[in-house]
Amino acid sequence: MPLTAPAHAVHLRVLHLEDSELDHELMLAHLRAGGLEVDSRRVESEGGFRQALAEPWDVIVSDYNLPGFSGLKALEILRDQHSLLVPFILVSGEIGEQVAVQAMLNGANDYLLKDKLARLVPAVLHAIEGSEALRAKHEADLALGQSEQRLRELAQHLQASVEAERTAIAREIHDDVGGSLTALKFDLAWIERHCGNAAVAQRAQNAIETVMLAIESSQRIMHNLRPAILEQGLLAALQWMTQRFEKRSNVVTLLRTSHDTLPTLPAGVPLAAYRTAQEALTNISKHANATRVEVDLTIARGVLSLEVSDNGRGLSQDDLGKARSFGIRGLRERAAQVGGWVDLSSGPGGTTIILSVPLGTERSKSGRATQPDTGHHDSDDPTSWDML
């Protein structure tokens, strides 16, 4: 597409690498005749060129042959040391095809013959337009990268906040609701024993049963908020979870591990593994239509891996892209928080999700820093979950 000079005056800073003052004047005349306002400097040596590069230029026009220097060398210096974005146009008395190709490969925007300088203005405008588009793309890529990074940090922060909030609610239920219900149960039992009236005693007994149900419910709610079973170790918690899943879903569920006991895991890792298994099993009951599930827990060569596979219908890339599905995305963030990652594979034979966490790395050791420190560390207290 031929470019013409824009209607409004364009002001350009042009660095001209040229040993002939006459050719320089000729170039300026062409640019001005093409409607461009030009601030220009002529340099002819490597030193002068390097020095001039400290200043901002809209375009560099360079002769091919210079005494003791060359246009291709200048291009190399520019691309090596300076912005990739300053347009560079090579001009020569005679230019072989090979040289022209080499110049374009090295990042020149265009090349011209000295006797065809009529093409100079369109070439300059085109080169500037191209490098502005490139600059805009670079900036957009940079902004996108930064925004993705912020989003990742936000997601991790949200995970940590949700976990902290759950801990706080569970603790309140335990301390306030649990405490009051237990006191109520004792008082009702006292009334039942001392009232001396069969009808009142019966009422008190009914009330005790209701209170017991409320205690059970609050324990269930607390457990869902924060798995206290994890205090007995990840293995025990997974055993409990898989057995309960099998009973509730009627899907054959096997837990396999070659370990009788696990080494002490870095803070945050048991909970990440627990939540991964929990989400994987929930997904299986919601989506997979499976008849068999295997959960494998291994620690080998310093890496913990938890694998949950089912023989269900499998999932597609589209499933993972669902706008309102955050389960698996959340697991990836959670894994990253303890220095690990999640792999997912799926086919007609079913779906496998694997959590891998290198143990003993600085990140997983410092996982605790992501947990809120509540200053509540009584190990006999089932609510001291921040130690998990």
Ligand X SMILES: Nc1ncnc2c1ncn2[C@@H]1O[C@H](COP(=O)(O)OP(=O)(O)O)[C@@H](O)[C@H]1O
Distance in angstroms (rounded) separating the CA atoms of residues 290 and 225: 27
Stretch that binds Mg ion, among 18-26, 73-81, 280-288, 358-366 (CB under 5 A): 280-288
Q: What whole-number distance in Å separates Cα of residue 268 and Cα of residue 278?
A: 15
Q: Residue 292, by phi and psi: left (phi above 0), alpha (psi -120 to 50) or beta? A: beta
* Residue 292 is a binding residue for ligand X (CB under 6 A): no
**Under the criterion CB under 6 A, does residue 287 sit at the interface with ligand X?**
yes
Residues facing 310 on adjacent strands: 293
285 touches Mg ion by CB under 5 A: no
* Interface with Mg ion, residue 319, by CB under 5 A: no
Nearer to ligand X, 34 or 312 (CB): 312
Closer CB to Mg ion, 283 or 351, in the complex:
283
Q: What does 322 bind: Mg ion, ligand X, none (CB cut-off 5 to 8 Å by kind)? A: ligand X
205 or 325, CB closer to ligand X?
325
152/388 Cα distance (integer angstroms) = 23
- The correct pick among 327, 366, 374, 384 for binding Mg ion (CB under 5 A) is 327
Report the greatest alpha carbon distance in the chain.
123
Q: How many residues touch ligand X (CB under 6 A)?
A: 19
Tokens of 318: 């589209």
CB 10 within 8 A of CB 35: yes
> Where would I find the H helices in the chain?
21-33, 46-52, 71-81, 97-105, 120-172, 179-194, 198-225, 234-249, 269-283, 317-320, 327-337, 362-365
Choose which of 286, 323, 375, 378 interacts with ligand X (CB under 6 A): 286
DSSP structural state of residue 288: I
Give whichever of 156 and 374 is closer to ligand X, judged by the CB atom.
156
* Region near ligand X per CB under 6 A, out of 7-15, 61-69, 234-242, 279-287: 279-287
Beta-carbon count within 10 A of 98 CB: 8
In the list 92, 337, 351, 364, the residue contacting ligand X (rule: CB under 6 A) is: 351
* 283 binds Mg ion, rule: CB under 5 A: yes
Shortest distance (Å) from residue 346 CB to ligand X: 7
Instruction: Answer yes or no: are the C-beta atoms of 173 and 221 closer than 8 Å.
Output: yes
Stretch binding ligand X (CB under 6 A), from 45-53, 144-152, 236-244, 283-291: 283-291
Q: Is 196 exposed, middle or buried (0-12, 13-18, 19+ CB in 10 A)?
A: exposed
Task: Determine, following the binding rule CB under 6 A, whether residue 304 of this chain makes contact with ligand X.
Answer: no
Q: Tokens 């009914």 — which residue?
A: 206
Q: Which of 283, 337, 364, 383 binds ligand X (CB under 6 A)?
A: 283
Q: Does 276 bind Mg ion (CB under 5 A)?
A: no
- The one of ligand X, Mg ion, none whose footprint includes residue 310, by CB under 5 to 8 A per kind, is ligand X
Question: By 3-state DSSP, what share of the chain in percent is helix, strand and coil, each rounded to 5?
Answer: 55, 20, 25
Using the rule CB under 6 A, is 306 a contact of ligand X? no
- Kindly tell me which residue out of 312, 340, 367, 382 binds ligand X, with binding defined by CB under 6 A: 312
Residues that bind Mg ion (CB under 5 A): 283, 327
Residues that bind ligand X (CB under 6 A): 279, 283-284, 286-288, 310, 312-315, 319-320, 322, 325, 327-329, 351
